[in-house]
Amino acid sequence: MTVTPSPSMIEGSASKNGWTLFKESFQHFLASRLNRFSFGLTVCLLLLIVIAPFIAIYPYDEVNPALGLSPPSWAHPMGTDQAGRDVFSRVIYGARTSLSIGLVTVLFGLLTGVTIGAVSGYLGGWVDEIIMRIVEIFMSIPGIVIALALVSVLGPSLPSIVLALSIRRITQFARVARGSVLSVKSEDYVTACHAIGMSNLRIIFVHILPNCIGPIIVLASVLLGNVILTESTLSFLGMGIQEPTPSWGTMIAKGNEYLTFAPWISVFPGLFLFLTMIAFNLLGDGLRDHLDPRGGSVV
């Protein structure tokens, strides 16, 4: 029996340009309430990066010892920290550092790690053995130790922190990508690709990787929160973002000492971190389902 194509399909892509297709696909993505929520939240958070100077009431580094540790009030909606700096303004500015460190690190780790893992899994044999042993060596050293070593050599600047945090993510992405590629490369359609004379590069990047996207997106959304927290560990040890530049991780860590009598110092950046993780995890889930043409939630 022939299957009749659905109406949306009949209109066809041959006659449409990329932009219309993208618009339709995007509208379809936003049809789900959960996707609308996660997408909206993500946009708001990213917007914070841009408009931080306009909504922050005080400069993030304005010290006012007289007002130290004051609870939330109209003047300071999220209270002040031990040095009397406005927590709200610092949280807003902190979005800049934390989100950019998180996004750049995950993106860098994803691109590098997935490429390494895909090539390794696809080629197999001794190439795979060597690459995976190197990856395992890096995995056997605790991530924070590698990061500390790198930052202490390169100095605590933004690029070196991103690099230091990336090393660990590269190994994680590489392993997940390799596993997926291993299972996909033995699929019949990959053999069919060989049989029509495609090059290895095209087979890996056009045919195999799009079919591995599910687990990679999920890992990316999980690692984003993870990176933001690891950065705070670095800061706690004095190797992360340096005061007075705010980052959520640092604020949570520093606020720890005052948790019993001034919880707002930690709670508000924690809340934003939580929202970020929720937003990206849900967005990742939604994207994964959306990108699968079968429309199911198959990973």
Partner 1 sequence: MKPVLELKNLQTQFETRSGIVRAVDGVSYHVNHGETLGVVGESGCGKSVTSLSVLRLIPNPPGKIVGGSVMFEGEDLTQVPDHLIRNIRGKEISMIFQEPMTSLNPMMTVGNQISEPLIRHLGLSKKDALDRAREMLDLVQIPDSKSWLSGYPHQMSGGMRQRVMIAMALACDPKVLIADEPTTALDVTIQGQILILIKELQEKLGTAVIMITHDLGVVAEVADRVVVMYAGRKVEEADIHTLFERPRHPYTVRLMTAIPRLDRIAAANGAPERLTEIPGTVPLLSELRSGCAFFDRCAFASEQCGKEAPVLEEKSRGHWAACWNEAPFQ
CB 28, min distance to partner 1, A:
14
Q: Which range binds partner 1 by CB under 8 A, 6-14, 93-101, 106-114, 150-158?
A: 6-14
Binding status of residue 125 toward partner 1 by CB under 8 A: yes
Binding status of residue 133 toward partner 1 by CB under 8 A: no
Binding status of residue 195 toward partner 1 by CB under 8 A: yes
Binding status of residue 17 toward partner 1 by CB under 8 A: no
Considering only 210, 238, 243, 271, the residue that binds partner 1 (CB under 8 A) is 210
Closer Cβ to partner 1, 212 or 227, answer by number: 212
Closer Cβ to partner 1, 7 or 261, answer by number: 7
CB 8, min distance to partner 1, A:
10
Across 54-66, b (16+ Cβ under 10 Å) vs e yields eebebebeeeeee
User: Under rule CB under 8 A, which residues in 173-192 are in contact with partner 1?
Assistant: 187-189, 191-192
Binding status of residue 20 toward partner 1 by CB under 8 A: no
Binding status of residue 27 toward partner 1 by CB under 8 A: no
In angstroms, rounded to a whole number, what is the distance separating the alpha carbons of residues 40 and 30?
A: 10
Alpha carbon 21 to its chain centroid, in Å, reads: 26
Binding status of residue 207 toward partner 1 by CB under 8 A: yes
Binding status of residue 5 toward partner 1 by CB under 8 A: yes
For residue 283, CA distances in Å to 32, 38, 52, 290 come to 11, 5, 23, 10
Assigned token pair, 156 = 């605590």
Binding status of residue 18 toward partner 1 by CB under 8 A: no
Binding status of residue 290 toward partner 1 by CB under 8 A: no
In angstroms, rounded to a whole number, what is the distance separating the alpha carbons of residues 177 and 212?
A: 7
Give the residues across from 80 on adjacent strands.
86
For residue 64, CA distances in Å to 70, 79, 237, 244 come to 11, 12, 25, 14
Closer Cβ to partner 1, 7 or 33, answer by number: 7
Site for partner 1 (CB under 8 A): how many residues? Answer: 30
Assigned token pair, 12 = 């066809």
Closer Cβ to partner 1, 12 or 153, answer by number: 12
Binding status of residue 194 toward partner 1 by CB under 8 A: yes
Give me the sign of the Cα torsion angle 142, 145, 149, 152. positive
- Name residue, tokens 């090059």: 199
Binding status of residue 134 toward partner 1 by CB under 8 A: no
Q: Which range binds partner 1 by CB under 8 A, 9-17, 91-99, 115-123, 249-257?
A: 9-17
Across 14-34, b (16+ Cβ under 10 Å) vs e yields eeeeeeeeeeeeeeebeeeee
CB 31, min distance to partner 1, A:
19
In angstroms, rounded to a whole number, what is the distance separating the alpha carbons of residues 108 and 281?
A: 18
Residue type, 164: A
> Which residues contact partner 1 (rule: CB under 8 A)?
1-3, 5-6, 9-14, 125, 187-189, 191-199, 207, 210-211, 292-294
